[in-house]
Amino acid sequence: MDTEEQKKLLDRLARIEGQIGGLRRMLEDDRACEDVLTQLLAARSGLEKAGLVILDRHMEKCVLGDDAVGENTLIQLREALRLWAR
């Protein structure tokens, strides 16, 4: 993973950490269930997106190797992952 990709992923994880902290405070403050669920869904979505980034890199670098498949095949695999994540 190049440094720009790694920075984006680390930034995303930092946001998720903040959301989790917010969830804890919301529960301690006895906030409305709908508010807590909304925040929980946002954190879950962030984790899923981070997972897709890591899975994409793993697939490209570890499973398929740099020259195992053509660029078009790699694009199709990435699109399939994105569709599955919806």
Domain holding 18: CATH number? 1.20.58.1000
Token pair of 18 as six digits: 């903040």
pLDDT at 76 over 90: no
Find the DSSP H helices in the chain.
3-28, 33-57, 71-85
The predicted pLDDT at position 53 comes to 87
The predicted pLDDT at position 61 comes to 79
| pLDDT mean over 72-77 | 84
Res. 62 pLDDT band, cuts 50 70 90: confident
Question: Looking at the 3D structure of the chain, how many domains does it have?
Answer: 1
Q: What is the pLDDT of residues 3-61, one digit of tens each?
A: 898 999 999 999 999 999 999 999 999 999 999 999 999 999 999 989 988 888 888 77
Residue 52's nearest CA partner among 82, 17, 13, 83 is: 82
CA distance 80 to 9: 21
What residue numbers bound the domain in which 56 lies? Answer: 3-85
